[in-house]
Amino acid sequence: MPRDLEDGERIEVAGSGSAVYTLKNTGGVYTCSCPAWRNLGAPPERRTCKHLRALRGAEAEAARLGSDAATQAPIARPTAVDKDVPPLLLAHVWEPDTDLTGWWMSEKLDGVRAYWDGARFVSRLGNPFVAPDWFIESLPRDLPLDGELFAGRKRFQRTVGIVRRQDRSDAWRELAYVVFDAPRIVAPFEDRMRAVEDAMRACDAAHLRAHAHARCEGTAHLRAELARVEAQGGEGLMLRQPGSHYEVGRSTTLLKVKTFKDAEARVVGHVAGAGRHVGRVGALACELPDGTRFSVGTGLSDDERRDPPPVGAVITFRYQELSDDGVPRFPSYVGVRVDVELPTRPSARGGSDRWRVEDPVLAAERRAEGFARAKRR
């Protein structure tokens, strides 16, 4: 008899031989630790396998994926050529030699960037977010908006889990769309923000709001506000040059200010855990775009160690500084990115023998078996 998994529920099922696989529902994204699921060439929210079909039923899986064929064949990731990538403004990092007096200051939200094109939300990479009708029904159809889908401070991974869902779930009630620009209006920033505020007032919906900005009074004010935001669990600050127009790409008219640096890296393997982490992942083996390899172990939850980001996933991590060799010092895992792609290139340094990196399929089987043994003890 088919059954479903509640949000956050996990169960174990028998695989071939002595293998035990874990099925899990995280915010409407169904995962399995079996090799077939892990090897599908599709984003996690668009994967299935025989174990999920046996549990939920083939019809339920077909409905979740949006196509009967989706239960049989891998789904290729769309390329930039296939997608309508939105024309977004991106920030540079603030350097202390830039005087920010008079600039517009706002909190840097720890959410997922979302471009409203008048009909739907689109990620930085051009991937649509499937929002419920009630969430978008009052948004303007003739005014593209730039903002963030935001569940609150320190809830980045929860936000990612919600926006990746394909079922227009009620979990969207945890989110707000916080708007900080209107890209298509050719006017200074102040005029664009007035248009955003007027549009959000017209929406008259609690989950839709304009982002608050305040004038920076100087470096002391900047540092005090940064300390206040970070003390409350915020990520940092964004500074917008007064009178600036919206530009596509990275611009010095938009600067981010944070105590810790962050960056993206690609997962290239899983490092076996030791001690209390035996049978789970001890760290993620990661690679920067320039080929530098390093490991990220801090910041992973127990659930993430049992079911880590797959090889090929792009993650965000925080770090203190780079070593003389360009290796991030004290890296800490933040979460998986669904709105960023990194170039694939051969390693420039630090070959794969630098880490005890396991084949992802064998690692998944080993973790499942180790977890099952631990439960039987």
Question: Which residues are paired to 321 by β-bridges?
Answer: 329
Q: Rounded to the nearest 5°, which phi and psi values hold at 84? A: -95, 85
Average pLDDT over residues 193-209: 96
Per-residue confidence band for 349, with pLDDT thresholds at 50, 70 and 90: very low
Is the model's pLDDT at 273 over the cut of 90?
no
Q: Which residues contact 189 (CB under 8 A, 6 or more apart)?
A: 104, 181, 240, 241, 242, 243, 244, 245, 246
pLDDT tens per residue, range 234-253: 989 999 999 999 999 999 99
Percent of the chain clearing pLDDT 70 (strictly above): 85
Question: Which residues are paired to 332 by β-bridges?
Answer: 298, 318
Whether the CB-CB separation of 161 and 26 falls below 8 Å is answered with: yes
* Closest-CA residue to 180 (of 288, 88, 71): 88
Percent of the chain clearing pLDDT 90 (strictly above): 48
pTM, to two decimals = 0.66
More confident residue, 275 or 217: 217
Secondary structure (H, E, C), the chain: CCCCCCCCCEEEEECCCCCEEEEEEECCEEEECCHHHHHCCCCHHHCCCHHHHHHHCHHHHHHHHCCHHHHCCCCCCCCCCCCCCCCCEEEEECCCCCCCCCCEEEEECCCEEEEECCCCEECCCCCEECCCHHHHCCCCCCCCEEEEEECCCCCHHHHHHHHCCCCCCHHHHHCEEEEEECCCCCCCHHHHHHHHHHHHHHHCCCCEEECCCEECCCHHHHHHHHHHHHHCCCCEEEEECCCCCCCCEEEEEEEEECCCEEEEEEEEEEEECCHHHCCCEEEEEEECCCCCEEEECECCCHHHHHCCCCCCCEEEEEECEECCCCCEECCEEEEECCCCCCCCCCCCCCCHHHCCEECHHHHHHHHHHHHHHHHHC
pLDDT tens per residue, range 30-65: 888 888 887 776 677 778 898 998 999 888 888 787
Is the model's pLDDT at 362 over the cut of 70?
no
Q: What value does the mean pLDDT of the chain take? A: 84
Token output for 121: 């939300």
Distances (CA, A) of 160 to 33, 57, 97, 205, 286: 20, 26, 35, 22, 20
Average pLDDT over residues 304-329: 88
